Structure 1
Amino acid sequence: MSMKRWGAAFLAGALSVGLSVAASPAQAHDRHGGSAVRTVGYYTQWSFADRGIPVRYLVENGTAAKLTHLNYAFGLLDEQGRCVSSDPVADYQRQIPADQAVNGRADRPGQALAGNLNQLKQLKQKFPKLRVYISLGGWTGSAYFSNAALTPQSRAAHVKSCIDLWLKGNLPGAPAGAAKGVFDGIDLDWEWPSTEGNAGNVVRPEDKQNFTALLREYRTQLFKQGLKDRKVYDLTAFLPANRDALDRGYEVAEVYRLLTFATVQGYDYHGTWERTTNQQSALRVPEGDPTTPPDSGEIVVDAHIQRGAPRHKITLGVPYYGRGWTGVTNRNNGLFQQSTGAAPGTYEAGFEDYRTLKTLLAGGTYRLYRDPEAGHAWLFDGTTFWNYDDPIELERKGRFIRDRKLGGAMIWSLDGDTPQGELINGLHAGLHRR
């Protein structure tokens, strides 16, 4: 198709939904090879350096073949709201040795693109249907989103800087366009508009309307860039489970209309910021849960639908990690009991990857407990309690997503799975097995 005809078809699709920058072409590209359900996984900037998990790991344990989308986390914003790389070494400078490279060839000194971005490029070459997004923000990286979204001028400058850095691939210190073609879209992980997330975030009451305006600016500029590149660029966002944060920060129906799809927080319902042990990601509220208001995957999904979210755009988050407490009263198998605080963890207190939690059972001191009706599992040794999802629970969540006709599952984060891909196999079975 000629550029003129392609552009006309793109614009016709845009105008058909009443937007100057159509969502419908992006949705057409969101069919992920004919599959009716998407599987989105976050691969983090620090997975390799801190956890020893290179992108190649996703090939070797079978994850990459089962993903439809991969979000690379995170790009950051400076105080003026412009997009920046927080770690150029990890992103595009570190030379990856042959035994850790997706294509089995070592990076060479002086090549235009190295680091994680080059590995993602190789991953796309190996799995050409995989769509890869740059994810902006995160819990510790959302400080300046409010500044970026504040005015028409700041929104335009922010989006322009992000397109230039991540889509045009103009990386500081690298040849022009070195990373072009790595990313197929942008994922916004602003935690949270109009509601303080991490301490120190800039928060304004007008963030709610400004977030919608920011999405419109993204759609405008992504559409124009897509015309130039003869490509559809997607736009997604991570949205909260907390209903107060959802109501204070989002014009929900309009936000969903502007997004290709949304990923919805399906975890961290409870954690060691509370002293009482509890589920962090159950599908339904367990019997005896003492908290008010209660949280569960079912409650969160229904809350988004009630506020105007179409089911096919809800991509429910699932965790590849657990939350843990210690000094726990030895009653009720540790569930809903008082603790003295967070259990020790490899990377942070009260947090542990599944691939590590799995090894606790082999030691013989922990027992595994499960609530099949609520849909959650936990480990308890009489003192320390870990709530987590194993392959059985992830298969259950996959079935829930399929049965509720939701858009798919989102994984935080891919480095938590085992070398055998036990979690992705369980989730995939639930999403696809009839």
Structure 2
Amino acid sequence: MRRSMLGRLAVAACSLSLLTAFAPATAVGADSADSGAGRSYKKIGYFTQWGVYGRDFQVQDLEANGSAGKLTHINYAFGNVSAEGTCFTGNIPGEADAWADYARPLDAANSVDGVADTWDQPLAGNFNQLKELKAKHPGLKVLISLGGWSWSTHFSDAALTPASRKAFVASCIDLYIKGNLPQDGTRGGAGAAAGVFDGIDLDWEWPGSAGDTDTPYRPEDKRNFTELVKEFRTQLDAYARTQKRGTKYELTAFVPTAPAKIDAGFDVRRIMRDLDFVNLQGYDFHVSGEPRTAQQSALYARGDFSVHGTVEAWKRRGAPAHKLVMGMPFYGQGWTGVTGGGDGLGQPATGPAPATWAAGYEDYKALQKLADSGAYQVHRDRRGGHAWLFDGTTLWTYDDPQVLRAKTGYVREHGLGGAMFWSLDADTADGELVTAVDRGLRGR
């Protein structure tokens, strides 16, 4: 489910000879004559369903740390697809969590509006808090993200035929857009979640190529994904016409870096007609499971995966720049047992670094403390636009505010649609990274 798994597939997906060459250093963070001033950029943060538990990151924290007013979109991660090819929810360990979504009561201290949930209100949990957040920030949109790494298992089957696609899309619109939730005690019911979600984000990882170990894929996925996108667009627009004048539901997708994965699963010109925008994988270019340390999210890289390479790959295949949103990591990939001297990058390691939640994967807020501790030295590749921490034994590659300034400069210079980040619960208590992205896109 975490994004940290993506790089394992990205690295194996195609040879380095297919990747874009290193771009001029002068482009990093530079502002062109058209700086993008006055443009409205998308600022999209993923809110994780499970973050309300161990991390104790609530929707209300986005209001408390000032991030809510700086975002244009929140993607709620994730909605699952059943073996029958429908969107569903429930209380099924590892498969669905209706308790977190809409049944869990919040007290006044953890509620966006400062009022405790009552036992008999039909909508509680994260969904109700997102609705309250939107009430405070009327321009904010919330999308349900379907799939992700762990929950893409049944996408290929759901998209297989015209009938299965039609039923799949109808079920997702019924559950999330119409808000017809299963009854869970006093929670849920017809229309209980109406108005929470403003669209759907497709996180199928990956059509036409390997994803998680239990996720099947087929050669025809590329065609079927195109038709699935079209079906979502058709049904969303049809339902919008039944609502108040001017209603529009957004349709987006999370898409990969590797050219081989793009070509296997995405008819770029056709899907971009129906998608409002796509969120580009801008991280996990290398991951802590690899035997050598490496960058995970460089803006530029010679003979390697990079953000610039990803942007160019999608543009060459027909994607308009303004529909490309750059993905940025709010976490780092880490290795320990690093030998070979120097600054640690590109050196052999014994394995993933110890971390708070999962070995080799650490939130930015924890890495910031390491950087401030003095035990680690911050290294920067200013030509490549990336940074890492190294203490002589353990290395973490990550994005900090300085890196994000370079990346937002690139977004503005190249006319991209904005920035997306995984995930909001990894930021600092004062929303340091969201603030850096917001200021960067404003040219400040």
Instruction: Output the TM-score relative to the length of structure 1.
Output: 0.89
Matches of residues 57-96 of structure 1 in structure 2 within 5 Å? 57-85=61-89, 86-96=96-106
Which of 293-302 and 121-130 deviates more?
293-302
| Structure 1: segments with no counterpart, 5+ residues | 1-33, 287-292
Letter in 2 for 1:380: F
Letter in 1 for 2:42: R
Distance 2:132 2:320 in 1: 34
Counterpart in the other structure of 2:162: 152
Cα deviation, 1:8-38, whole Å, max 9, x if unaligned, reads xxxxxxxxxxxxxxxxxxxxxxxxxx84211
Name the SS of the counterpart of 2:120 in structure 1. Answer: coil
Distance 2:381 2:410 in 1: 15
Give the conservation status (yes or no) of the 8 Å contact 2:149–2:211: yes
Residue among 265, 272, 291 paired with 1:275 = 291
Matches of residues 393-412 of structure 1 in structure 2 within 5 Å? 393-412=403-422
Matches of residues 38-187 of structure 1 in structure 2 within 5 Å? 38-85=42-89, 86-173=96-183, 174-187=188-201
Cα deviation, 1:102-144, whole Å, max 9, x if unaligned, reads 1111111011100000000001000000111000000011000
Letter in 1 for 2:212: N
Counterpart in the other structure of 2:371: 361
Name the SS of the counterpart of 1:117 in structure 2. Answer: helix
Distance 2:280 2:347 in 1: 28
1:330 CA drift (Å): 4.6
Name the SS of the counterpart of 1:387 in structure 2. Answer: strand
Residue among 235, 258, 264 paired with 1:242 = 258
Counterpart in the other structure of 1:257: 273
Give the conservation status (yes or no) of the 8 Å contact 1:330–1:382: no
Distance 1:80 1:373 in 2: 49
Give the conservation status (yes or no) of the 8 Å contact 1:346–1:352: yes
Letter in 1 for 2:241: L
Matches of residues 208-223 of structure 1 in structure 2 within 5 Å? 208-223=222-237
Distance 1:159 1:193 in 2: 17
1:364 CA drift (Å): 2.8
1:373 CA drift (Å): 1.5
Distance 2:373 2:137 in 1: 38
Give the conservation status (yes or no) of the 8 Å contact 1:265–1:317: yes
Letter in 2 for 1:181: G
State the 4+ residue runs in structure 1 displaced beyond 4 angstroms.
none
Letter in 1 for 2:271: V
Counterpart in the other structure of 1:313: 323
Distance 1:256 1:313 in 2: 8
Distance 1:171 1:295 in 2: 41
Give the conservation status (yes or no) of the 8 Å contact 1:137–1:188: yes
Cα deviation, 1:335-385, whole Å, max 9, x if unaligned, reads 110000100121111100000111113333211111122111111111000
Give the conservation status (yes or no) of the 8 Å contact 1:330–1:383: no
Letter in 1 for 2:192: A
Give the conservation status (yes or no) of the 8 Å contact 1:276–1:338: yes
Give the conservation status (yes or no) of the 8 Å contact 2:48–2:77: yes
How many residues align? The count is 395
Letter in 1 for 2:120: G
Which of 102-111 and 313-322 deviates more?
102-111
Matches of residues 380-391 of structure 1 in structure 2 within 5 Å? 380-391=390-401
Distance 2:427 2:66 in 1: 11
Q: Which has the higher relative contact order, 1 or 2, with Cα contacts under 8 A spaced 6 or more apart?
A: 2
Give the conservation status (yes or no) of the 8 Å contact 1:395–1:428: no
Cα deviation, 1:68-107, whole Å, max 9, x if unaligned, reads 1110010000112100121000000000111111111111
Instruction: Output the TM-score relative to the length of structure 2.
Output: 0.87
Name the SS of the counterpart of 1:316 in structure 2. Answer: strand
Letter in 2 for 1:239: V
Distance 1:111 1:48 in 2: 20
Give the conservation status (yes or no) of the 8 Å contact 1:284–1:298: yes
Residue among 294, 316, 322 paired with 2:304 = 294
Distance 2:129 2:142 in 1: 12
Give the conservation status (yes or no) of the 8 Å contact 2:340–2:348: no
Counterpart in the other structure of 2:439: 429
Distance 1:59 1:417 in 2: 13
Distance 1:375 1:253 in 2: 29
Counterpart in the other structure of 1:196: 210
Name the SS of the counterpart of 2:343 in structure 1. Answer: helix
* Higher fraction of helix: 1
Name the SS of the counterpart of 2:102 in structure 1. Answer: helix
Cα deviation, 1:381-420, whole Å, max 9, x if unaligned, reads 1100000011111111111111111000001111111011
Which of 410-419 and 363-372 deviates more?
363-372
Distance 1:362 1:41 in 2: 25
